[in-house]
Amino acid sequence: MSLTPSQVRFFRHNGFFKLPTTLSDAHTEELRDAIWQDIENEVEPVVRSKGRPVRISDVWGRGGVFERTITCDEILDPLTSLLGPNIEFIRNRHNHATLRLHEDGSAYLHRDVLQWSRTIVTVLIYLEESTMENGCTRIIPGTHFLESGMTSPSHEGVDRMAEAGLIDQMVPVPMKAGGLLAIDSMIFHGVGPNATDGSRTSMTVGYHSQDELMDFDNDKRVLVRGEPLYQGNDRR
């Protein structure tokens, strides 16, 4: 399902959009179970907090349902409206799944990339319902238009948004299990704390349009839709 022109304009203007497509219940359950299994078995590479694995990295390299999800039509069909017909998956940005439990604090407010000219579309895949209570995604709409270089390797993003008078403009984005949220990676975003006794599992992946000026293979990029297209004028 492609996006309508109005939906594309909404994404461009606000910096985020809930995709009209969702993963099926069976797909969601299969992916969630695979994430939990790899976390429980500590299948490397993993990220640990207080000695406990809370994130698995390189989900593309794990194959199976992870790769099928990254290349599924539910994600790529609407992304063609934003990125064009030739789409690459990025292996060295995001490419992870996270399990957030009650004791996990809120993530810092941040951007995912430095510059607008090299931005990506991040897709957040929700494997459990994400609510105000368990710490759903928070976004400050329109902040992808602020000056480049305003990054936040720590909690600096909160301070910068407060100084700009924009911290109060942050809005929560609750999502159902199986829901897909696309964001411009220049937008300031984060998550809230999980105040429940349950978990909140999600997978985060990034895409951009295939680089028509790149004439050599890059193992950090995987063409997942369309075909490679070189448009450099050095061959003419």
pLDDT tens column, 35-79: 999 999 999 998 887 788 889 999 999 999 999 999 999 999 999
**Each residue of 94-110: pLDDT tens digit?**
999 998 877 666 667 88
Mean pLDDT within 140-166: 76
Res. 216: pLDDT tops 80: no
Residue 156's pLDDT is what? 66
**Each residue of 162-207: pLDDT tens digit?**
888 888 899 999 999 999 999 999 999 999 888 888 888 999 999 9
Residue 107's pLDDT is what? 63
Mean pLDDT within 14-30: 98
| Local confidence band at 152 (pLDDT 50, 70, 90 cut-offs) | low
d(CA 122, CA 173): 15
Number of Cβ within a 10 Å radius of residue 93:
18
7-209: which CATH topology?
Jelly Rolls (2.60.120)
The reply to whether omega before 78 is within 30° of 0 (cis) is no
Residue 19's pLDDT is what? 98
Rounded to 5 degrees, what are φ and ψ at 135?
A: 90, 55
Mean pLDDT within 199-224: 86
> Where is mean pLDDT largest: 50-54, 131-135, 154-158?
131-135
Res. 151: pLDDT tops 70: no
Residue 47's pLDDT is what? 87
Are the CB atoms for 98 and 55 separated by under 8 Å? yes
β-pair type (87-90, 221-225): antiparallel
Mean pLDDT within 18-26: 98
Question: Tokens for 124?
Answer: 């957040």
Residue 162's pLDDT is what? 81
Res. 153: pLDDT tops 60: no
Q: For a pLDDT cut of 70, what percent of the chain falls above it?
A: 92
Give the domain ranges of the chain: 7-209
